[in-house]
Structure 1
Amino acid sequence: MNTTPHQEHPDTLSTGDGRTTLRMERELAHPPEKVWAALTDPVSLARWFPSEVELTLEPGGAMGFRFPGDSGPVMTGIVTDADRPRLFAFTWGDQHLSWAIAPHGDGSLLTLEHTFGDHFGAASFASGWQLCVTMLGTLLDGGPVVAGHDEGELHEAYVRRFDLGQGVVEAFPGGRRVRFERQLVRPAEVVWEVLSAGVEPVAGLPVPDGFTAATAPAGPVTEVRAPHSLSYAVAPDGAVCWELGAGTGHGPRLVLTQEGPEDFDTDAALAAWHTRIEELAARLLDVPAGVRTVPPYRP
């Protein structure tokens, strides 16, 4: 079984009409019929798929998804394709997943196309599917299936592969802003502790250095809601806002903006904040998953 990325089958990301499609191809040393069964049988699915699944295996058939231990409402979907043993596709909420199986040597080539609206969740989806398809391969091989776990390194590798760390420039009446969105891999409380370094931000006082970059020196904090948001003023006539909102499950979603007047040097701001956020992401990997107290910094 081979479920690791190959040079000839790179994972790709494409966008169109406000949607993003993740494409992953994996070689499996098993015939299409065997792969089809593992993709469509609910008992087999429960051993490698991220949720328990109920389905009626026909186009238009209903699907239900429930995560183990989740007592909330069952998420729903619809089977869009069920062409044995070539194509199984379905919706999952507002997402669409297509699993294509083709003969490949003595085994199969499995192609996943996952289409979704959350572009900056792509690294989370890709790292999750990488682990899941590895478990699928183990199941097909007849070995013990153990749930995979990413401490964050795989997620960050996909951030780099898909170039998800870049910011954008936006115009608004009277000025411009730079904006970054980044999925983080540790809880918001840990992110906040790393940024504040033990200096709790207080409205009216200078912002802790961790929230600043070369183009946004420390200014007075204008609003703080730990551990979810912080804003501060930047001279002249500018402002920086950090927001840690709901993410994909790996951690919070960081949205960072710096606003300024129309002559605001956005190129310099983009470079400075990109460096700062990459430093933060690397620092978070030093914090073991599940730990709520940040260990001392090791440069």
Structure 2
Amino acid sequence: MSAEPTALTGVYLTLDDGRPAVRFSRTYDHPIDRVWRFVTDPDELAQWFPSRAEIELRPGGAITFSGDPNMPESTGRVLAVAPPRHLSFDWGGDELRFDLEALEEKRTRFTLTHVLAAENTAARNGAGWEVCLAALDAKARGERFEGPHAGATAPWKEIYARYVEAGVPSGAPVPGMD
């Protein structure tokens, strides 16, 4: 008997300005300041984000991305920051937005919006975020997790296929599959 696959948590959407995006939302049993560290501290990010990210937390600040086996080292720029509620930055031609909302003293909603430069990357990137956010979910529960490039990436191809089957735009090159 095989286990039922978990539901896809990403939503494909078109923003008001016409740009395509995938959006994910999670609720964590942590105060907003703790979740803010998950998304801004380089050592915390390294445990779930696809790249190691060194961030100058100010508008226009530089970000250096390294350590992702599927991307060369690169740089980005902070577009907006409002601690502990919002961080957005450019990343490989796309824009990432992290929004945090305190629901209670020790409960925070985290929303990740990946604004895509190309619509056909939606399924690929959606599947990638499912894997990365599974690592963040484990971290938030206090579980040891080796990060998004460890053994947990095994389900990525299955998740990608499910996004494609769901009609999420696809067709962009996929490292290791093309």
Pick the TM interval, shorter chain: 0.7 to 0.9
Instruction: Tell me how far 1:36 sits from its aligned partner.
Output: 0.2
Q: Hey, what does 1:154 align to over in structure 2? A: 159
**Contact 2:10–2:130 at 8 Å: present in 1 too?**
no
Amino acid at match of 2:114: H
Instruction: Tell me how far 1:107 sits from its aligned partner.
Output: 1.3
Instruction: Tell me how far 1:70 sits from its aligned partner.
Output: 8.1
Distance 1:141 1:163 in 2: 30
Runs of 5+ consecutive residues of structure 1 not aligned to the other structure: 165-180, 184-246, 253-299
Distance 1:15 1:26 in 2: 20
Amino acid at match of 1:159: V
Q: Deviations over 1:47-75 (max 9, x none)?
A: 11101111111111001111256895x31
Q: Hey, what does 1:168 align to over in structure 2? A: none
Runs of 5+ consecutive residues of structure 2 not aligned to the other structure: 1-5
Q: Hey, what does 1:255 align to over in structure 2? A: none
**Contact 1:46–1:53 at 8 Å: present in 2 too?**
yes
Instruction: Tell me how far 1:18 sits from its aligned partner.
Output: 6.9
Tell me the TM-score normalised to structure 1 length.
Answer: 0.50
Q: Hey, what does 2:175 align to over in structure 1? A: 249
Equivalent positions of 1:21-100 (< 5 A) are 21-68=21-68, 74-100=73-99
Instruction: Tell me how far 1:153 sits from its aligned partner.
Output: 1.4
Q: Deviations over 1:235-277 (max 9, x none)?
A: xxxxxxxxxxxx132522xxxxxxxxxxxxxxxxxxxxxxxxx
Distance 1:79 1:28 in 2: 24
Q: Hey, what does 1:118 align to over in structure 2? A: 118
Q: Percent identity?
A: 30
Equivalent positions of 1:171-186 (< 5 A) are 182-183=171-172
Distance 1:94 1:25 in 2: 22
Tell me the TM-score normalised to structure 2 length.
Answer: 0.81
Instruction: Tell me how far 1:13 sits from its aligned partner.
Output: 2.5
Instruction: Tell me how far 1:104 sits from its aligned partner.
Output: 2.6
Equivalent positions of 1:123-138 (< 5 A) are 123-138=123-138
Aligned residues: 167
In our comparison, the structure showing a higher alpha carbon Rg is 1
Distance 2:160 2:138 in 1: 21
- Aligned Cα RMSD in Å? 2.6
**Contact 1:80–1:89 at 8 Å: present in 2 too?**
yes
Amino acid at match of 2:164: V
Q: Bigger relative contact order, structure 1 or 2, given CA contacts below 8 A and separation 6+?
A: 2
Distance 1:151-1:42 versus aligned 2 partners, 3 A rule: closer
